[in-house]
């Protein structure tokens, strides 16, 4: 499967809001090609635009993270509202995101953790809205899910704190309400400390020609897992000592 063929399928699915089945035996060749597909789709749907946000994460710190750019039109401010009928699938995740206060331009050597930390302005509570352009997405090949922006549909950003360095992420309390359901956690981030993802994404974004800039938001993965949402649900993520984000599903 060429980058162009895969990108066309995903662009068409984005524009028509119709999921498609991945052709049998037409997997992508690796993560690099999946990222090339992301770039091609982003360039066709939002020509000339730069990402306003990124999603980054992974199952544990023992594996390479993955990432996907998020355009400005999919970056929503809490309290937000979205239409369930405009999505093929609606999942929600409680997350935290770092917002940059200074640019991290491309350079010849990686940024140190201290340099990246100094460029961060605040930590925000977010709700990631997950969607898919892939029919039978749970069983779809992992590289196709990555090419499909890691199943991102939008990102809702809420309140936050500039004092994020004072937080003990291993003891961080999270309350995630989805309609009548509530999920609670203490700690639970797959990387322990979500900041550990930031030096990696600084390099990754720069290598793709889209270095992190002041104002960019980087969301760092779910704390309580993926939850299905439906019309009528009010979804609220609360992180003690950080803030909250809300979205209404209509």
pLDDT digits (tens, 9 = 90+) for 178-214: 999 999 999 989 999 999 999 999 999 999 999 999 9
Write down the pLDDT at residue 27.
Answer: 86
**Nearest CA to 68 among 78, 57, 59, 60?**
57
Counting the structural domains of the chain, the total is: 1
Residue 129 in any domain: the answer is yes
Q: How far apart are CA 43 and CA 93, in angstroms?
A: 26
Residue 12 in any domain: the answer is no
Share of the chain above pLDDT 90, in %: 93
Q: How far apart are CA 108 and CA 156, in angstroms?
A: 33
Lowest mean pLDDT among 22-31, 60-69, 145-154, 227-236: 22-31
The domain in which residue 198 lies consists of 51-249
Instruction: Output the domain CATH number for residue 126.
Output: 3.90.850.10
Residue 18 in any domain: the answer is no
Does the bond joining 218 to the residue before it have cis omega, within 30 degrees of 0? no
Residues shown for the chain: 250
Residue 68 in any domain: the answer is yes
Residue 168 in any domain: the answer is yes
Q: Is the pLDDT of residue 127 over 90?
A: yes
pTM for this model (two decimals):
0.96
Write down the pLDDT at residue 61.
Answer: 87
**Nearest CA to 57 among 126, 9, 107, 157?**
126
Residue 145 in any domain: the answer is yes
Phi, psi at 249, each rounded to 5°? -95, 115
Residue 124 in any domain: the answer is yes
Residue 175 in any domain: the answer is yes
User: What tens digit of pLDDT does each residue of 105-121 get?
Assistant: 999 999 999 999 999 99
Helices 31-45 and 3-16: crossing angle in degrees, nearest 10, is 50
User: What tens digit of pLDDT does each residue of 81-92 get?
Assistant: 999 998 999 999
Q: How far apart are CA 40 and CA 147, in angstroms?
A: 10
């Amino acid at each position: 499967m060429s980058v162009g063929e895969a990108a066309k399928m995903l662009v068409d699915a984005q524009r028509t809001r119709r999921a498609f089945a991945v052709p049998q035996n037409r997997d992508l060749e690796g993560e690099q090609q999946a990222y090339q597909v992301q770039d091609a789709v982003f360039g066709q749907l939002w020509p000339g635009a730069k990402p306003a946000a990124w999603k980054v994460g992974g199952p544990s710190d023992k594996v390479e993270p993955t990432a996907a750019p998020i355009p400005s039109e999919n970056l929503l401010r809490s309290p937000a509202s979205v239409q369930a009928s405009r999505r093929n699938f609606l999942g929600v995740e409680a997350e935290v995101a770092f917002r940059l206060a200074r640019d991290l331009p491309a350079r010849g050597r990686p940024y140190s953790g201290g340099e990246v930390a100094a460029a961060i302005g605040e930590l925000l509570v977010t709700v990631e809205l997950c969607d898919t352009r892939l029919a039978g997405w749970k069983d779809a090949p992992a590289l196709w899910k990555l090419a499909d922006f890691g199943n991102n549909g939008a990102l809702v950003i809420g309140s936050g704190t500039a004092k994020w360095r004072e937080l003990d992420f291993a003891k961080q309390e999270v309350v995630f309400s989805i309609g009548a359901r509530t999920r609670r956690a203490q700690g639970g981030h797959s990387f322990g400390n979500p900041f550990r993802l930031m030096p990696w994404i600084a390099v990754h974004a720069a290598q793709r020609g889209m270095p992190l800039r002041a104002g960019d938001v980087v969301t760092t993965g779910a704390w309580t897992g993926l939850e299905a949402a439906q019309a009528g649900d009010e979804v609220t993520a609360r992180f003690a000592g950080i803030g909250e984000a809300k979205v209404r599903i209509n």
